[in-house]
Structure 1
Amino acid sequence: IANVRNGGSMHQLCLIFSGHKQLSGADAECGYDQTDDGFKKKSKNIAKDMKNRLGFLRRRNDSGPGSNAAKLDKVIKTVRPSPEEALKWGESLDKLLTHKYGLAAFRAFLRTEFSDENLEFWLACEEYKKVKSQSKMISKAKKIFAEYIAIQSCKEVNLDSHTREHTKDNLQKVSRSCFDLAQKRIFGLTE
């Protein structure tokens, strides 16, 4: 909650959901009043409001049920959070990323900030850890490195030289943990 007052990520998410350029009072625009015993709901339709605010994501339907826009539309329709649950996203990035709706909202926010490569890298690493075949793991590791970690790559993430070299060395002996340090650094930057 302190992040909201200090201009953190929750503040930016509230801006997306409220549709305002500036917040006069962050809590007021997000649909909550601060009280001694926590937050009190101002609007019964906050989930509907959030859907309306994120409607611009749904309008980009790239034709076909398999498109990313169609998938996002399905997530928005089926996984609406309660207002209390959405407030918990401000407590930690882990809570935000484990909820499909929160992930979609955070991704939309990062796109407006032109920094969605950090989240994309983190998600690619999570998918990489699920790969079972050693040959697929090797090819996926090379792809992740080339796309996100290599200097001047198309979606280069902001890593220090030590982390970059450590990750490059890990590719000599590919394992599920070869991106752990880089992923931890990016998670820290995103938080």
Structure 2
Amino acid sequence: MRENLACVASENMAFTYYTTPADLRTERKEMKSKNWRNRIGFFLKKNTSQSILHPKKNRSYRPTADDVQQWAQSLDKLLSHKHGKTVFRIFLKSEFCEENIEFWTACEDFRNITSHKELASKANSMHEEFIKNEAPKEINLDFHTKNAIVQDLLEPTVTSFLAAQRKVYSLMENNSYPRFIDSDLYKELCAAARGEGKHIKS
């Protein structure tokens, strides 16, 4: 009797082990889709209402079909556009890797700092947030790059995070960006920008 119960328990454990990860992946995928659809839907709805209230600002406030098409030309084109950057960040958040664009943006801001005191303060906060082991938004960097940043913390310059920024940019360019261009999110944005739909399907 005990052997039979043990066997049943073992089978139940095996069933749980093999089915739960798949269920979780499916649920996670559905949550990701719902998440970006809600965010983009709100984004377009907000832009549309603002455009109606301020028709003269329509061209500059909401991305045009040409804007959205240019985002597919390069990551640089995407990040240089205000709304393109916002949409890409939403996409990265749905993939649980938004720390990459947050770090890249922080680096862009860091390079514009002129005060040495502010530079040192910002360098330390960026190290705490993105670089050190088990940082809240730790990015994927090799030991050499991380170590170089640590060494620079004593006398940081505007180029202290440049090597790390380039690595993160390359990571986004070769991985996340192609997935973004192939995603339903981008395709639906193209359709919405062309006026084929008033909002993202829910």
Report the TM-score range of the alignment, normalised by the length of the smaller protein: 0.5 to 0.7
Q: Which residue of 2 aligns with 1:159?
A: 141
* Structure 2 residue matching 1:102: 3-state secondary structure: helix
Q: CA deviation at 1:130?
A: 1.3
Q: 1:140 to 1:93 in 2, by over 3 A?
A: same
Select the residue among 19, 41, 46 that pairs with 1:55.
41
Q: 1:140 to 1:186 in 2, by over 3 A?
A: same
Q: Encode CA deviations 1:79-98: one digit per residue, 9 max, x unaligned.
A: 32221221111121111011
**Structure 1 moving runs of 4+ over 6 Å:** none
Q: CA deviation at 1:119?
A: 0.3
Select the residue among 157, 168, 175 that pairs with 1:186.
168
Q: Which residue of 2 aligns with 1:108?
A: 90
Tell whether 2:134 aligns with 1:148.
no
Q: CA deviation at 1:57?
A: 5.4
* Structure 1 residue matching 2:157: 3-state secondary structure: coil
Q: CA deviation at 1:122?
A: 0.5
Tell whether 2:155 aligns with 1:173.
yes
State how 1:1-191 maps to structure 2 within 5 Å.
54-56=40-42, 79-191=61-173
Cα distance in 1 between the residues matched to 2:167 and 2:38: 34
Task: Judging by fraction of residues, say which structure has more strand.
Answer: 1
In the alignment, is the contact (CA less than 8 A) between 1:148 and 1:157 conserved in 2? yes
Structure 1: which amino acid aligns with 2:63? Answer: P
Larger-gyration structure (1/2): 2
Structure 1: which amino acid aligns with 2:97? Answer: S
Q: 1:114 to 1:169 in 2, by over 3 A?
A: same
Cα distance in 1 between the residues matched to 2:135 and 2:64: 39
Task: Judging by fraction of residues, say which structure has more helix.
Answer: 2
Give unmatched runs, 5+ long, in structure 2.
1-32, 52-57, 174-202
In the alignment, is the contact (CA less than 8 A) between 1:118 and 1:190 conserved in 2? yes
Q: 1:55 to 1:129 in 2, by over 3 A?
A: same
Q: CA deviation at 1:58?
A: 8.2
* Most deviating of 168-177 and 130-139: 168-177
Q: Encode CA deviations 1:140-185: one digit per residue, 9 max, x unaligned.
A: 0000011000011000001011111112112222100000000000
Q: CA deviation at 1:101?
A: 0.7
Cα distance in 2 between the residues matched to 1:100 and 1:122: 14
Q: 1:54 to 1:167 in 2, by over 3 A?
A: same
Name the count of aligned residue pairs. Answer: 131
Cα distance in 1 between the residues matched to 2:39 and 2:156: 42
Pairwise CA RMSD of aligned residues?
3.0
In the alignment, is the contact (CA less than 8 A) between 2:120 and 2:155 conserved in 1? no
